[in-house]
Each structure stands twice: as structure tokens, then as C-alpha cells.
Amino acid sequence: MNILVTGGAGFIGSHTVVELIAAGYSPVIVDDLSNSSPSVLKGLKNILGTDVPFYQEDCNDYVKMTEVVQKHNIQGIIHFAAFKAVGESVSEPLKYYRNNIGSLLNILNVMRANNVRNLVFSSSCTVYGQADVIPVTESTPKKKAESPYGNTKAIAEDILEDSVKAGLDFGIISLRYFNPVGAHPSAEIGELPIGVPNNLIPYVTQTAAGIREKLTVFGSDYDTPDGSNVRDFIHVVDLAKAHVSALNLLQEHTSEPYYNVFNIGTGRGNSVLEIIDTFERVNNLKLNYEIGPRRPGDVIKIYGNVEKAATEMNWRAEKTLEESMEDAWRWQKKISNL
């Protein structure tokens, strides 16, 4: 079955391409490389031993997307393509609404016109904000988004649910990712942040590699066991496999319009200080870090209840935090030539 992977040269998309092929699907990548590099395609070839069809196109382009869908007889789409920098979305909201919402609407229109039924959408635990009860389940109420980026995910979920409610002939699954970390164990693909990383793990690995002088822990006086924030850090390979499970599930629901949403995390919460400790321990190194002030807008504590994905999609994260930290560091060493 041929699957269009928008944003397939990105962090999560590239790992998903590998797992799709392992599961017998045939991925086709569309990525405009606005936040990724052509070197990812080389990494994919080194893992897979073959080229994956790739189109450097903007998935807001109806004509180009239609061409790719028709040429490859696409039967399902995984829509990763989006901008994801939370801070930038606050200063440039229209850029985020246009790309994240515009591209989704375009994809849905292309799907309708070409009888493509199946869609897996990249949503985020950001839709929960700071939930009152942890771990969050899929029925935990969504909170008003803290940023335009977060709002694009909440709006996108509503668009998808409304489309299915209206009886449009779609099978759609939204996956609410928690915090993806790690890299492919081969170190052929991984996270490639442009400029100064916003996210914790690339900042940790770049500090260990000497690219950044010091990691700042954003607050250690929160109401958590060690005072630092708590997150659900999921290995990107486990996350990638969830997309295969979602596509498989969609094929069991072809008789009527179908929409569902799943938490995709480990079900465990780990603190920022635990991350530093684990990174140092498994990689046998010392990280230069200091405790700094809180980062405005940070959620204090979140992790997911992932039983719905286990029961209905037969998916569960398998890798440990230790593996995530080893793989993240192996990847950083490779790209830094250490």
C-alpha cells in the first residue's frame, strides 16, 4: 500500500519511513525541506539500501500534491508537515496558521478529490495544556492553547473530527505525541534542529558535544518530586511504529467514516533532572548545567495514559529512557564528528 508521508524528511517523519517499509508499506515523501536537510535522504538510503521516492514540494500546493497522489496511487497519508517552534508561533502566528492549518485543509481536499480515505495526523499533548489530573487520557478536557502553534493542533483535531461527523468518507486517526527523543540506533537519522535548540534533548546533546557552553534547567522549585518539570519522553522509533499501528487500524474501519484519537507516550513521567542524570550515567560523561529561572508558559507536569493505544491499536512503547539517551548521544557524536 502506497503511503504519502508529508514532512517525511523531518525528525519523526524520517523514522516513520523506516518503520513503514519494515511493515511492508511503500512510503513516498513530500517535504519542502523548510526544516530539514537533503542529508536525511542519504541516511534513509543507508538504513534501507534503497531510495525512497521524494518530492521537494510544499504540501499547500494542490496541483503538486494531486500529481504525487495520482502518480503513486496513494492510498493513505501521514501528515507530519507543519512548523513546530512554539516561541516563533507567538511572534508569527499567521505563518503558523497558514502552514499548519492551510496544509491540512489542502491535504483533505486532495484526498476527497482522489478517493484517498486514510489519514494519520500529528497532534500533540500540547492540546491538554496543564491538565488537572495526571496521567491524561484521551477524554481529559483540552485546555485553551498557550500558543498559536498549540492552537493549530487543537483546531486541526476539530477540523478532522467535524469532517468525519459530517459523513465525509474518511478514516482518520490523530496521534497526540508526548515528547519524542532519541534517534535511530544506526545513527543514520535523528533530530536536526536549525540554530539554537528549543527542546531539552538536543540542548543536552549539543552541550555534551561542546556546541553549547551550558544547559540551563528552567526551574527547580516546582511542585514535583525533585522540583523540575516532568514530561513523558518517548523514543522516536517507538513513536514511528505507532503510525504503522494506526494505518493498520484504519484498515479495519473501512465501512463507515471513522475518527479516533490516541495518546502516544510511554505512560511514565521523568523530570528534567532525571533526564540529565540518565544521560550522564548511560553515556559516562558529565554535563555542564546550572539551575536557572522558570521558562514562561511551561507546563509543570504531564504524562500520558497510553492504555487506549495498547488496547485498540495493539501498540505500546518498548524502549527505555536509557536507550533514548544512548541513541541521542550516538547521533550527536556522528553529526559532530566526535
Judge contact between 315 and 232, C-beta under 8 A: no
Total chain residues near ligand NAD (CB under 6 A)? 28
Q: How far is CA 268 from CA 77, 150, 178, 234, in A?
A: 29, 22, 10, 9
6/229 with CB nearer ligand NAD:
6
Residues with Cβ within 8 Å of 152's Cβ and at least 6 positions away in sequence, in order, are: 82, 89, 96, 97, 100, 101
Q: Which does 216 bind (CB under 5 to 8 A by kind): ligand WQD, ligand NAD, none?
A: ligand WQD
Site for ligand NAD in 35-54 (CB under 6 A): 35-36
Catalytic residue among 96, 149, 177, 203: 149
Q: Smallest gap, in angstroms, from Cβ of residue 333 to ligand WQD? A: 20
CA 187/CA 184 separation, integer angstroms: 5
Torsional class of 132: left (φ above 0), alpha (ψ -120 to 50), beta (otherwise): alpha
CA 8/CA 30 separation, integer angstroms: 6
Site for ligand NAD in 6-35 (CB under 6 A): 6-7, 9-13, 30-35
How far, in whole angstroms, is CA 151 from its chain's centroid? 16
Site for ligand NAD in 89-108 (CB under 6 A): 99, 103
Question: Minimal CA–CA distance to 121: which of 85, 76, 162, 151?
Answer: 76
315 binds ligand NAD (CB under 6 A): no
Q: Smallest gap, in angstroms, from Cβ of residue 276 to ligand NAD? A: 18
Q: Grid coordinates representing 110?
A: 486532495
26/216 with CB nearer ligand WQD:
216
149 is catalytic: yes
Report the interface residues with ligand WQD, using CB under 6 A.
84, 86, 124, 126, 150, 179, 198-200, 203, 215-218, 229, 231, 272, 295, 298
Q: Which residue has the CB atom at the shortest distance from ligand NAD? A: 10
Which residues contribute to the site for ligand NAD (CB under 6 A)? 6-7, 9-13, 30-36, 58-60, 80-82, 84, 99, 103, 122, 124, 177, 179-180
- Give catalytic residues, as residue numbers: 149
